[in-house]
Amino acid sequence: MERLRLAQLSDLHLGACLSGGKLALPQKKAETRRAEQRQCLSRFAAHVRDTRPAAVLLPGDLFDSPEPDVDDLNFAINALNSIAPIPVFLAPGNHDAYAPSSPYDPHSALYQSRGSGPKWGSNVRIFAADRFETVPLPGHPNVTVTGVAFHRHVPDTHRPLAELPRAAQNGCRILLFHGSLESYPRAGAEPQVLPFTAAELARAGYTYAAVGHYHRGGPIVGERGELLGAYAGAPFAASLGDLTPGSWLDVELTPQQPLNESALRWHRADDRAIHRIEMDVTGLTDTAALAQRLDGLLAASKAGQRDMVHVTLHGRIARGVAFDPRQALAERFFHAAVDDSRVEPDHAVDLAATPDKEPGLAATSEELFIWRMRKLYQQAPDEAERARIKEALFYGLDALTLGEIHLR
């Protein structure tokens, strides 16, 4: 097998709505980000023209939708055509699934409607079938690329590698598809599409698999630690789920087998990152102390001034204290969003106050509970017992009002 360099990028999600969601970028910042998202692809194309790998691998979700707008489509076609004559192999993903209406089909109304818009260049090979197809890599007689398109009519639970016959064991065999390695460390609750295991991939007998879908880049490693393939990761942080810096991937396949992770080199593709901060406000009773805790969390996150931060506040805030860090954060970062919808005021119950008369039938459980605890408190023999009753009151009120208990 010859030494072979490849460049891999996926999950750019061109056309994704950047102003919505919890991050809530205002229109002007969303436009800045939209330009930066395109820049990811232009920079990647420039990198490919500079470094001249044997092929570019795009395993899906280049667009956020199967029918992107014409401007995004023309931009992407121009960028990929600019890489010519280096061949580009594209396997549509679950977002930009192949369909008769998608611009991956040159007969589609969308593709045809663009008048003088650019056509897919002869260097761009789009895998259109819902079954794996194998094509030669031009100029490299011993290299093949085997790819498949995601089709909407194929259920997400379909196992693409189950039907893939074992590859012939000569030459260099590249596999390209969009799917979910079941054991892959996931950032959140990303849906699994076209699942597979490392064992299935190893059995298929390919030299290297370029896989798309997960937005965090990382290797796909077999049982004996051998490298089977990789996710390049999303190059651009589009939403709160994108918590690792955007990246694309250079791959260098060497004649020595098995491959290991030294074949992979990730490149930072997005100058901004999204940081998610969770802060418990419970127990802090003035805004200076609250701001100090938030500063500590921000420092630990390594969020920089070009970045976006999303802060979730939760817990019990002291009565009479209002903590709103929005303005201060807006001045420190490209963008900051604060979700304080889970902050609850602390319970204000004076146990030493004279108890009212016993609550009647119309009383809430909360009123009845406070009345009983107040009586117990006032009958308590010593300070230790009173402290215990105070604790019990807070936990009980947490349970009654929040349905969960905040340890203090």
Q: What are phi and psi of 109, to 5 degrees?
A: -60, -40
**Residue ranges that bind Mn ion, judged by CB under 5 A:** 61, 93-94, 213
Rounded CA-CA distance 68/65 in Å is 6
Tokens of 185: 């460390």
| In the complex, minimum distance from the CB of residue 94 to Mn ion, in angstroms, rounded to a whole number | 4
Distances in whole angstroms, Cα of residue 236 to Cα of each of 49, 63, 115, 272: 20, 12, 30, 8
At residue 398, φ and ψ (nearest 5 deg) are: -55, -50
Rounded to a whole number, what is the largest CA-CA distance in the chain?
93
- Residue 258 preceded by cis peptide, ω within 30: yes
Peptide bond before 355: cis, by omega within 30 degrees of 0? Answer: no
Residue in 79, 49, 82, 87 with CA at minimum distance from that of residue 62: 79
Q: Which residue has the tokens 């699934």?
A: 97
Neighbours of 277 (CB within 10 A): 18
Question: Shortest approach of Mn ion to residue 150 CB, angstroms?
Answer: 8
- Shortest reach from residue 247's CB to Mn ion, in Å: 16
Q: Which is nearer to Mn ion, 193 or 259 (CB)?
A: 193
Minimum distance, C-beta of residue 386 to Mn ion, in the bound complex (Å): 58
Please report how close the Cβ of residue 124 comes to Mn ion at its closest, in angstroms. 20
- Residue number of the CB closest to Mn ion reads 213
Please say whether the beta carbons of 200 and 161 come within 8 A. Answer: yes
Q: Which is nearer to Mn ion, 193 or 251 (CB)?
A: 193
Cβ 148 to Mn ion shortest distance, Å = 14
Q: Choose among 47, 49, 13: nearest CA to 33.
A: 13
Nearer to Mn ion, 83 or 97 (CB): 97
Amino acid 242 reads: D
SS (H, E, C) 238-252: CCCCCCCCCEEEEEE
Give the residue from 408, 396, 399, 388 showing the smallest Cα distance to 281: 408
The CB-of-178 to Mn ion minimum distance in angstroms stands at 6
Q: What is the CA radius of gyration of the chain?
A: 28
Q: Using alpha carbons only, what angle is made at residue 360 by residues 355 and 365, rounded to the nearest 5 degrees?
A: 80
To the nearest whole angstrom, how small is the minimum distance from the Cβ of residue 60 to Mn ion?
Answer: 6
